[in-house]
Amino acid sequence: MIRFQKIGSIFKANIDERLLYSILSNLLLNALKYSNNETAIYLILKSEAALITFQVIDQGIGIPLAEQHKIYEPFYRCQNVENIAGTGLGLAVVKKCVELHQGEIIVESKVGTGTTFTIMIPQENT
């Protein structure tokens, strides 16, 4: 189950919709893939005049700390994914899409507890 939460009052953002689709679809699909069916997955949107922040939070298998610096490399898959299908391209795509927006991606994860990806995309004042 995916739950949505919106924080803030800015409703207009300068984000390429195709890049946004790639970011959110990859992060949400990973959260679903690496989580138990009974746990919730959260998508949080925080909108401010100068910054749009997305968070995808799951309670899945988590990413080992020793491997977190490698997860954006194309074709890299963590050792704890066992027999879960995947190519190792999703997070590389997410990172590139975030960079094209001059944004930043942060991962916080603990094995057995879950993962939070935070995407911050700066906004021009218009």
Residue pLDDT, tens place only, 37-96:
899 999 999 888 889 999 999 999 999 999 999 999 999 999 898 888 988 999 999 999
> Which phi and psi angles does 29 have, rounded to 5°?
-65, -40
Render pLDDT for 21-42 as a digit per residue (tens, 0 to 9).
Answer: 999 999 999 999 999 989 999 9
Q: Distance (Å, rounded) from C-alpha 53 to C-alpha 44? A: 8
Q: Whole-model pTM?
A: 0.89
Instruction: Enter the tokens of residue 105.
Output: 């991606």
